[in-house]
Structure 1
Amino acid sequence: MIEVYIDGGSAGDPGPSGVGVLIKGNGVNVNASVPLPPMSNHEAEFHGFIQALKLCKEHELKVLSVRTDSQLLDEAFDKKYVKNEPFKSLLNEALELVENHFDYVFMKWIPSKQNKQADQLAKKAIQKSVEKNGSS
């Protein structure tokens, strides 16, 4: 099983944002820092999951164990439901990717201290976003 660590963050609410994705297992080792436009931290977490799924799809990975430090994302994926309107379309995009491209996707919440590599990648992405957008 492929291990996928994801983290999203923003410098403000909303603010310049980014995601970090770490994929490892079966000879695959991917580290990605993806800058995002200004958004909330929670939105960035959902984008992190979507970005991870797209990267796994590109690498033709079919069975994933996803780790996140976002309880909101973990619960939304588990229940296939999120109350907040802005997150519904993001959750639906992720669920569609899972249904159409993967054999099995398991998500587990982990404490932030166990997600340091993805967090560092997300912080690099936020910095790129700040530099691109000229704000802090």
Structure 2
Amino acid sequence: MIKLYTDAATLGNPGPTGLGALIVSPEKNLQLKQTLNSASNHEGEFAAAIAGFKAVKEQFTADETILFYTDSRLVSDAVGKGFAKHYEAQLAELLALIDIFNFVVTKWIPEKQNQGAHNLANQALHANES
């Protein structure tokens, strides 16, 4: 079983955005940080989830069970409903990645329970500051 935590941090809305993903498995833990030049908070949350699932796809097999945690209600609700007004392309890409795996459980969690991914997103956002 693999736990995937994702988050985004945006300076301005839209603005520079940091993405964070924390992947926890019995074999290894992975930390992912990326930046986007400009994105809205919601775009960042989808991008973080997409980046996280891409990393899981590269590191693990499709028969793994994935517990996907996000503090974005928009992302968790969109995955559950298969619909996201204004974010159809991002959701389609995310669902295509989710569909690779045999079993994925998506769960919304409060920000305070998502500190690992939150810290990674903030580190990515502020990495280029002097």
TM-score (norm 1): 0.89
Deviation at 1:49, TM superposition (A): 0.6
Aligned counterpart, 2:104: 105
Deviation at 1:127, TM superposition (A): 1.3
Aligned counterpart, 2:115: 116
Aligned counterpart, 1:30: 30
Q: Comparing both structures, which one devotes a greater share of its residues to helix?
A: 1
How many corresponding residue pairs? 128
Give the share of equivalent positions with the same residue, in percent. 38
What residue ranges of structure 2 are gaps of 5+ in the alignment?
Answer: none
Deviation at 1:26, TM superposition (A): 2.0
What residue ranges of structure 1 are gaps of 5+ in the alignment?
Answer: none
Q: Which amino acid aligns with 1:95?
A: L
Contact 1:9 1:42 in 2 (8 A): no
The separation in 2 between residues aligned to 1:79 and 1:28, in whole angstroms, is: 31
RMSD: 1.5
Cα distance per residue 1:79-133 (max 9 Å; x no partner): 010112xx1100000111122x2111111000000011110000011113xx28x
Aligned counterpart, 1:96: 96
Contact 1:7 1:21 in 2 (8 A): yes
Aligned counterpart, 1:7: 7
